[in-house]
């Protein structure tokens, strides 16, 4: 018997890990289901993220930065993305209809949207510092522009059912986790006009396989299209790490809800 090893402790540890992971997934899906029900009924979350109460933001040479938990500055939005935002705005405004953008950031995409003079232009922004910059720049009084001062997760979207011709979401922080993405897609299903409305996805390094994976989280059938633009990258931020510095052709995915 001296050659036998008692693995019961190891099996117990594995079983506990599996059970814990299952419980975490179940909790996440329960929270997601509650969020879906809340969004459909127009109710707010019980709590709001701590960054809304004074998370530090500052501007530097057209960029917006914040400070991570480790104290290291992190880019929230960068000015070199302007060509990407301008092309995104052109896609969003092709119908000339009602356009929704979630996350103002540097204002690059919203300035580009405004230049196309859509029928209406709705911006969702929650950060107090960004809202202050928007007020200073006169966004609150621009004709045809509606500012919703809230997190997109807390907006009562029910009055906007099938209202928008185009929607876009490029927020920070956005975990891009499965539940966050599924929740945003539920908002898209609610507010976007079916069969004609356009949803543009942000991601400088999105492949067709990656987009296919993202859209498998969407309840319904979608028709995916692609556009492209050239972007000069002078320095690297996490979203651009794989591509690196230099001039890149960036493909921009967007989709229409078929049903």
Are residues 241 and 192 located together in one domain of the fold? yes
What's residue 174's pLDDT?
A: 47
Whether residue 173 is predicted with pLDDT greater than 80 in this model: the reply is no
Q: What is the pairing mode between strands 73-77 and 246-257?
A: unpaired
| Residue of higher predicted confidence among 17 and 69 | 69
The pLDDT tens digits for 118-168 are 999 999 999 999 999 999 999 999 999 999 999 898 899 999 999 999 999
For 190, residues 6+ apart whose C-beta sits below 8 A from its C-beta are: 39, 40, 157, 158, 160, 161, 162
CATH at 198: 3.40.50.150
The pLDDT tens digits for 13-64 are 556 665 565 555 545 445 555 666 666 666 665 555 554 555 789 999 999 9
SS (H, E, C) 143-197: CCEEEEECCHHHCCCHHHCCCECEEEECCCCCCCCHHHHHHHHHHHHHHECCCCC
What's residue 36's pLDDT?
A: 61
Q: Which of 152-156, 195-199, 236-240 has the highest mean pLDDT?
A: 195-199
| 71 falls within a domain | no
Are residues 35 and 109 located together in one domain of the fold? no
Q: Kindly state the tokens that stand for 167.
A: 């929607």
Are residues 154 and 230 located together in one domain of the fold? yes
What's residue 44's pLDDT?
A: 62
Q: Residue 85 burial (CB < 10 Å; 0-12/13-18/19+)?
A: buried
Q: Could you tell me which of 219, 203, 122, 115 has the C-alpha nearest to residue 167?
A: 122
Handedness of CA 172, 178, 181, 186 (dihedral sign): negative
| 86 falls within a domain | yes
What's residue 81's pLDDT?
A: 96
CB atoms within 10 A of CB 201: 18
- For residue 206, the 8-state DSSP code is -
| Residue of higher predicted confidence among 22 and 70 | 70
| 51 falls within a domain | no
The 3-state DSSP class for residue 30 equals helix
| 65 falls within a domain | no
Are residues 126 and 230 located together in one domain of the fold? yes
| 137 falls within a domain | yes
CA distances to 22, 80, 123, 200 from 231, rounded to whole Å, are 42, 7, 25, 17
Are residues 21 and 94 located together in one domain of the fold? no
Domain with 153, as residue range(s), is: 78-257
Are residues 27 and 131 located together in one domain of the fold? no
Average pLDDT score over the chain: 84
- For residue 45, the 8-state DSSP code is P
Domain count, the chain: 2
Are residues 103 and 226 located together in one domain of the fold? yes
Are residues 170 and 229 located together in one domain of the fold? yes
| 60 falls within a domain | no
Are residues 23 and 114 located together in one domain of the fold? no
Backbone angles phi, psi at 62, to 5 degrees: 85, -5
Are residues 14 and 124 located together in one domain of the fold? no
Q: Could you tell me which of 201, 241, 194 has the C-alpha nearest to residue 224?
A: 201
| Contact (Cβ atoms closer than 8 angstroms) between residue 196 and residue 226 | no
């Amino acid at each position: 018997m001296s050659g036998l090893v008692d693995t019961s402790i190891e099996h117990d540890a594995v079983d506990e890990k599996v059970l814990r992971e299952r419980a975490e997934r179940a909790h996440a899906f329960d929270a997601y289901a509650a969020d879906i029900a809340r969004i459909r009924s127009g109710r707010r979350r019980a709590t709001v993220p701590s960054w809304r109460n004074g998370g530090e933001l500052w501007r530097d040479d057209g960029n917006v930065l914040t400070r991570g938990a480790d104290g290291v500055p992190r880019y929230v939005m960068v000015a070199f993305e302007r060509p990407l935002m301008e092309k995104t705005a052109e896609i969003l405004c092709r119908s000339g209809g009602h356009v929704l953008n979630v996350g103002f950031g540097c204002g690059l995409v919203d300035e580009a949207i405004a230049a196309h003079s859509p029928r209406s232009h709705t911006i969702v922004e929650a950060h107090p510092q960004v809202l202050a910059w928007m007020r200073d720049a006169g966004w609150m009084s621009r004709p045809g522009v509606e500012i919703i001062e809230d997190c997109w997760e807390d907006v009562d979207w029910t009055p906007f059912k099938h209202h928008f011709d185009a929607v876009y979401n490029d927020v920070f922080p956005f975990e891009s986790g499965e539940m966050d993405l599924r929740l945003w897609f539920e908002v898209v299903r609610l507010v976007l006009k079916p069969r004609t409305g356009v949803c543009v996805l942000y991601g400088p390094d999105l492949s067709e396989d990656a987009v296919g994976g993202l859209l498998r989280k969407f309840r319904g059938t979608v028709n995916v299209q692609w556009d492209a633009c050239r972007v000069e990258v002078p320095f690297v931020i996490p979203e651009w790490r794989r591509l690196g510095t230099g001039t890149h052709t960036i493909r921009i995915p967007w989709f229409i809800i078929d049903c």
